[in-house]
Amino acid sequence: MKKALVAMSGGVDSSVAAVFMKENGYDTIGVTMKLYDNEDINMSREKTCCSLSDIEDARSVAFNVGIPYYVFNFKAEFKEMVIDKFVNCYKCGMTPNPCIDCNRYLKFTELYRRAEALGCDVIVTGHYARVKFDENTGKYQLLKGIDDTKDQSYVLYHMTQEQLAHTIFPLGEYTKDEIREIAEKHHLVNAAKHDSQDICFIPDGNHKKFIEQYSHKKIGPGNFLDVNGKVIGKHNGYYRYTVGQRKGINVKREGKHYVLEIRPETNEVVVGRNKDLYTNELIATDFNWISGESPKEPVKVSGRTRYHQPLTKGTASVLENGDVKVVFDEAIRAITKGQSVVLYDGDAVLGGGTIIKTDVNEN
């Protein structure tokens, strides 16, 4: 009998994933990753997805399904690989995506190693995505989930061939409504539980306050600049802003202004009009190609630069240093350093990387 380790967050998706694995004859183990103590992030126990109630929900489901359940302590790894990186990214004037880092470094690295140590054949999560083996190429493919509104392939672009070979996403062929119906049928305690919408360690959405409290450092006021470098206002710290933002911009000019660029070295924020936010080129680093092989020639792709953003057609080229340049056929609004660009061929994820450079048009 094959052995499966299911990552259980306490939510309905991972709970139904555990049900599926047990019903499909796997020797199934349920595991919750303890990523932080709520007191460490100055939040009450009730407000985050790692609360005691979430662990109890996962434990209840495991008992209902009839599988063993454990809580693994990954607090040190989460602090180093996700929270510290999140704070440092903002300090560098970029906008990170901690969900991608959590999946990359915690679920599919640390938990993957733990699964191997326990003799598990596969690791299982509640992501809405699919894995398929292509007999023609001899490679595993990462595919979008069939429910476009819940597809999570964007946050999984880092996965390797080895990881895909030992990963199952049992929810990828279902819609969210179908999953809730299955949970109700099995009388799961969390069948109607709301999905978490915020960054798990910042449930109130106030990343500026979190950064100041976590780092014990507050960066002082700086200048708002226009596209010509002229000072047109004052701000309260560059890390409070992200590209495309309009809220909190008080300048001595009429009309709506948006953040175009963040300059941490001088504590300056460049602002302009909405039309100034559009560009069709970017360069991404730390790029992972799902096949394990980068293309030798430019390839036609569809891509997105934010989670659930509509796909835009373009061309991707690998540079000499391994970074990837993407030129889209149409300009995209507010491409942001620190976010990820993920490339697709139909439903298949080709790969993705972290955006480090983008040119802002002024026309």
Are 266 and 235 within 8 A, CB to CB? no
Strand partners, 354: 285, 340
Q: List the catalytic residue out of 50, 89, 120, 200.
A: 200
Q: Is 155 annotated as a binding residue?
A: no
The verdict on whether residue 220 carries a ligand-binding annotation is no
Dist. CA 290–CA 142, nearest whole Å: 7
Distance CA 340, CA 284 (A): 8
Measured distance CA(64)–CA(4) in Å, rounded:
17
81 is in an annotated binding site: no
Q: Has 286 been labeled as part of a binding site?
A: no
Does residue 49 carry a catalytic annotation? no
Q: Are 110 and 3 in contact (CB under 8 A)?
A: no
Q: Is the four-CA dihedral 150, 152, 153, 155 of positive or negative sign?
A: positive
Nearby residues of 349 by Cβ (< 8 Å), 6 or more positions away: 141, 142, 143, 144, 153, 156, 157, 290, 342, 343
Token duo for residue 119: 């003799």
Which is the catalytic residue, given 50, 89, 102, 120?
A: 102
Strand ranges in the chain using DSSP code E only, listed in sequence order: 3-7, 27-34, 69-73, 122-124, 129-134, 139-144, 167-168, 222-225, 231-235, 258-263, 268-272, 278-289, 299-304, 312-318, 324-333, 340-345, 348-358
- Whether residue 324 is annotated as binding a ligand: the answer is no
Residue 342 assigned as binding residue: no
102 is catalytic: yes
Is 12 annotated as contributing to ligand binding?
yes
Triad 143, 145, 147: Cα angle to 5°: 150
Calpha distance 125→143 (Å, rounded) = 15
Q: How far apart are CA 286 and CA 284, in angstroms?
A: 7
Is 8 annotated to bind a ligand? Reply is: yes
User: Is residue 9 annotated as involved in ligand binding?
Assistant: yes
323 among annotated binding-site residues: no
Which residues contribute to the annotated binding site for ATP? 7-14, 33, 126
Among all residues, which ones are annotated catalytic?
102, 200
Which residues contribute to the annotated binding site? 7-14, 33, 126
